[in-house]
């Protein structure tokens, strides 16, 4: 009798699921795997924002049903929405900010639902996010009597996005800089500027003056040519 009842119950369940168009009929309870990604993967510590996306699948390799709650965790920075987001079409997204990071660091972020936890991903913040620096000098040539040059550094993230709020240090192998070695902050367009003053050329030769802008181990250079006196 018990065997008959089990078979009858199983047949009834299969019949109900085959007649149901709701994805939840096909979904085995629980999330089996979660993968996450960050776009961009490097942000400024000043108003920097990245979108963290979590995609989860069931044991049957089906998307999470709508409304599944995903909790996001980080060791640096902060999330919006109270660190939780619900799935829509099997995907949950949340905004991540470089809030509270004084200069720079790399956040490790992961997502979880129930007992299932994703692998962590890195998001570089502030100085850790710097990927390259482009330096320009205007004018690029000076007379032998000397003059002033505006040096501009554009700070880019590892995702090639301009980074604001980054302290840039300038140095030159000839002349003097207005910053005197102190950092200049990049603006909302990632630009930091300094002023180079070059005195009279007394060498009798054309001079090649190199100006360097650097953030940590990342640097860029520009050249100013000074003519003979």
Mean pLDDT of all residues in the chain? 87
* Per-residue buried b or exposed e for 39-52, using 16+ beta carbons within 10 Å of the residue's own CB: ebbbbbbbebebeb
- Confidence at residue 30, expressed as pLDDT on a 0 to 100 scale: 58
Residue 220 is predicted with a pLDDT of: 99
Residue 219 has pLDDT above 70, yes or no: yes
Percent of the chain with pLDDT over 90: 72
pLDDT at 29: 52
Residue 10 clears pLDDT 80, i.e. is over it: no
Domains of the chain: 23-128 (2.60.40.10), 130-226 (2.60.40.10)
What is the rounded average pLDDT of the residues 58-73?
88
CA distances from 199 to 17, 112, 203 (A): 85, 62, 12
Task: Name which residue leads in pLDDT, 2 or 188.
Answer: 188
Give burial (CB, 10 Å; 0-12/13-18/19+) of 137. Answer: buried
Lowest mean pLDDT among 39-43, 57-61, 142-146, 175-179: 57-61
Whether the pLDDT of residue 20 is over 80: the answer is no
Under DSSP, the state recorded for 160 is S
Look at residue 170 in the predicted model and tell me its pLDDT. Answer: 99
Q: How far is CA 200 from the centre of its chain?
A: 44
Is the per-residue pLDDT at 4 higher than 80?
Answer: no
Ranges 19-33, 55-69, 175-189, most confident: 175-189
With beta carbons less than 8 A apart as the criterion, state whether 31 and 57 touch.
Answer: yes
The pLDDT, as a whole number, for residue 22 is 46
Global confidence as pTM: 0.78
The residues facing 193 across adjacent strands are: 152
Q: How many helices and strands, by DSSP H and E, does the chain display?
A: 1, 19
């Amino acid at each position: 009798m018990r065997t008959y009842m089990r078979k009858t119950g199983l047949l009834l369940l299969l019949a109900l699921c085959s007649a149901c168009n709701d994805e939840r009929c096909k979904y085995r309870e629980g999330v089996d795997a979660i993968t996450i990604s960050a776009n961009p993967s490097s942000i400024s510590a000043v108003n920097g924002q990245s979108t963290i996306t979590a995609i989860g699948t069931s044991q049957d390799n089906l998307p999470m049903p709508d409304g599944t709650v995903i909790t996001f965790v980080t060791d640096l920075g902060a999330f919006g929405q109270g660190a939780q987001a619900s799935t829509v079409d099997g995907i949950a997204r949340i905004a991540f900010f470089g809030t509270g990071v004084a200069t720079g660091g790399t956040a490790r972020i992961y997502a979880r639902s129930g007992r299932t936890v994703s692998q962590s991903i890195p998001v570089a913040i502030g100085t850790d996010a710097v990927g390259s620096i482009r330096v320009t000098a205007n004018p690029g040539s000076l007379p032998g009597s000397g003059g002033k040059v505006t040096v501009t550094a554009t700070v880019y993230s590892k995702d090639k996005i301009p980074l604001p709020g980054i302290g840039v240090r300038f140095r030159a192998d000839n002349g003097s800089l207005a910053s005197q070695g102190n950092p200049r902050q990049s603006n909302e367009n990632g630009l930091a500027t300094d002023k180079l003053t070059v005195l009279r050329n007394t060498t009798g030769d054309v001079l090649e003056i190199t100006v360097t802008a650097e953030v940590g181990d990342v640097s860029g250079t520009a050249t100013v040519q000074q003519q003979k006196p």
